Amino acid sequence: MSTTLANDRAAWLRGPACNCSTLPGATKDPWRIVLLGAPGVGKGTQAQLLSQKLGSCHLSTGDVFRAAKSLGEKNLTPAMNVAMACMKAGKLVPDVTVIDLVAERTKCLTCRGGFILDGFPRTVQQAESLQQMLQQQSLAMDGVVDFVMPIDQIVARLSGRRTCGGCKAVYHVTGMPPKVENVCDACGKGLIQREDDRPESIAVRLDAYARSTAPLIQFYDNLGLLLTIPAAGTPEDIFERTVEALRNAEALPESILSRTLN
Ligand code: AMP
């Protein structure tokens, strides 16, 4: 697999006033992809692997909210403070806040390296706004990858997930445990459970997904962009499946396929 140095995504994580330390290399046909799937199916991991393979940045709206959280309540706008409360409860942040946040980051959508959106759009209103933003920039999307998994497996994944409080490495209490319980193998710091991975928040998140995000599958199917990928198995298995599906997607331009997926 070819790899590309990930940039620091400063313009995405910290907003339009910041510039990324390195920009992805210029390519004639950069990839523009959206990842869909319930929380816990492994979208973030697949986004990172795809980003390494395709050279496009991993743009997660959840990461933007988590970055904002570290600034502290006093430094946030009222809309961002509402967003923090929604996130903590596992609820969706209001559409207007998320759409404004992405619209402010149009330079990431138009970046010469393309994009891999993860966690946005999450409602039909967000998807319609994204289509408008892209059309205004005369850009088209290449594909929408929908990762699917049975609900009981999703709950088991989310409730067992632990993250290093230091380096953010991700573990699972049974599937991928650290060598020493609750201690990060990589940096030795303690492992924590994300607030929104607690049982009460998981139920709210999955409900929000079923009500608000599942309709997007039809939305993108109608546009001929949908690729459905079973998300069971190792991250490598899922990645291979995804690359294979992208390679076989008839709607994708030949030039892209021959360049990046050989
Ligand atoms: P994620 O890391 O994508 O699971 O996002 C974490 C949390 O951030 C979600 O549970 C929501 O509270 C919020 N969030 C992230 N992206 C969106 C979005 N597109 N629409 C609404 N809320 C979002």
Q: How confident is the model at residue 12 (pLDDT cuts 50, 70, 90)?
A: very high
pLDDT tens-digit readout, 78-99: 999 999 999 988 889 999 999 9
The pTM of this model reads 0.86
Residues classed as catalytic: 43, 122, 161, 194, 205
> Is the shortest distance between the CB of 116 and ligand 1 below 6 Å?
no
For ligand 1, whether the C-beta of 58 sits within 6 Å is: no
Q: To 10 degrees, what angle do helices 95-103 and 61-69 make? A: 100
Tokens 């928040």 map to which residue?
201
Distance CA 11, CA 18 (A): 5
| pLDDT higher than threshold 70 for residue 238 | yes
CA of 92 to the centre of ligand 1 (A): 6
Q: Is the pLDDT of residue 3 over 80?
A: no
